[in-house]
Amino acid sequence: MMKVPRSLALGLVIVVLCAACASGNSTSGAGSGLAADQTFRWPLITDVATLDPGHASSGTDINIIQNLFDGLYRFDDQLNITNDVATGPPEISSDGLRYTFHLRRDVKFSNGDPVKASDFLYSWNRAASLQDAYASVFDTVVGYDAVAAGSAKTLSGLSSPDDYTINAVLSHPAGYWLSEMALWTADVVDQKIIEAKGTDTWWTTPDGLIGTGPFLMTEKTPKVSMAFAPVPNWWGGSTGALKKVQLQVVADQASMVQKFEVGGFDVIGPSENGPDNEDILRYHSDPTKQKLLQIFPGARTDWIGFNFIKGPFAGADGLNGRVAFSEAIDRNQIVDVACAKGLTCSAATGGYISKGLQGYNPDGGQAAKFDPVAAKALYQKWDPTGSKVQGLTYWYNSDSQLKAVAENLQSQWKQNLGVTVNLATADKPAFFKMRMQKQLIIYRDSFGADYNNPQDWFDSDWTCVKAKLTTSGNSGGYCNPQVDALVQKANTQPLDQALPLYVQADALMIQDESYASLFYYNWPWFIQPYVSGAGKNALYDFRWTGTKILKH
């Protein structure tokens, strides 16, 4: 996952969750009973960067953290929000500014320390003051600006009238804010432990990594391995069948597949450490191994970006050019060539938001349409002499998959439009800098969702405010005040009310041909037939509480 500070969200859907109800893979060929050894083993290519909820930003770390810590709410395996430490939904004032949360009274850290409202206030104030990638989940709380600037240590909008009640005052209505409380950044941590073990190092040892989740760390050798075990008498109830989760850091993807094939690993894929394309294709083409390959939908979309500030595609005058270049692309051909024959990504079938997420628009219109005849006619009308695209260069960041995508685009534009487009690449930092500074005319762009809510997409990339920035957000300078108005209204409402507004905004962007959608990412995993309940949704791995090792 690519993480940057942003306001993040998922609509309020409170459901009751059974801790061991995660759906998982087929168990064909394995027994229905449990194996005697309930050890769940899988590899990491690189060690975790941090298991501190206040600092975590990578998918590798987040997918482990969700098993070790709790917040007031959390996301279940279907990406709904469910109660965690909270007893139920908050009480919200009629103006949408005041939230009252009630806490369970039986919650304990894994060392036995009781959890109270003061622990949450400490954790939230700490996360805000750390100012790391996801501190912005608290930016709607009164006093955030002072904490972010370093002139205050606590958020003035937070208070606790008693040990099991939290009051929060927001600076403006934000219908999405409750879902931010399901972030790992809002998880509760133990102040006593952090102060005793060190604010930067407390999480690095088993006796320091104290949380409230169903699992705790039992072993850690940096850059070599980690192990976790269920918390005895966990306050949340059953921790599931597993007795140990063993993680090993390996040299490369080939090494982990080799060990998987001799039974050394039970699964390859958790924490965003999947197999490479060569092995994915090998498994897919082998009738026996194919049964071990599972494809989970991702939450990232790749598209072609157009410069709306300068060049032939800019503004309303460039609309026909944008449409022509988009409709000249066969997305199925791209995923066949560049995505392991469609295993690591799938062709865009709708709008910009990835398939499977809230806000996905199946009626994608121009955003994913392939019509080479209409595209060529439109192009010739727009640029009859070819002068507008003379010397046009498509840019992308250095990557073997993106190189294959670029070469296929180049070929299709030549074949379907009769236009020769040059290709250029740069390393990721240089490419991102040029793209954000609006130097590139046509280029590769992408976004990976953090939460199952359109607000995440729009506020991160597609507002007029973001169009003016040169360090993050809208790289093409696209700005439509009508889109902004719809998004601003939607942001104040719960998801069920906001979703139609977000869909309208997406339709306007498609009408503007603001981007040309290409494909949505997938997550390929290898899973042994005796493993039950392992897998992931578009954003996160399933919790370990639902995984079982069957007799084999």
CA gyration radius, the chain: 24
Nearest CA to 550 out of 528, 534, 533, 531 is that of 531
Residues 151-208 have pLDDT tens digits of 999 999 999 999 999 999 999 999 889 888 998 999 999 999 999 999 999 999 999 9
Residues 378-419 have pLDDT tens digits of 999 999 999 999 999 999 998 888 999 999 999 999 999 999
For 491-552, give the DSSP string: HTS-HHHHHHHHHHHHHHHHHTT-EEEEEEEEEEEEE-TTEES--B-SSSBPPGGG-EEB--
Separation between Cα atoms, residue 395 and residue 398, nearest integer Å:
10
What interhelical angle do 481-491 and 454-461 show, nearest 10? 140
pLDDT at 31: 61
Q: Tokens 């199925």 sit at which residue?
A: 332
* Single-letter residue type at 244: K
Which stretches of the chain score pLDDT less than 70?
1-32, 364-366
pLDDT at 23: 40
Which residue segments constitute the domains of the chain, with CATH numbers given? 14-24+48-205 (3.90.76.10), 296-523 (3.10.105.10)
pLDDT at 364: 60
Separation between Cα atoms, residue 178 and residue 473, nearest integer Å:
23
The pTM score is: 0.87
- Number of CB atoms found within 10 A of residue 108's CB: 15
pLDDT at 178: 86
Separation between Cα atoms, residue 73 and residue 84, nearest integer Å:
5
CA quadruple 436, 442, 448, 450: dihedral sign:
positive
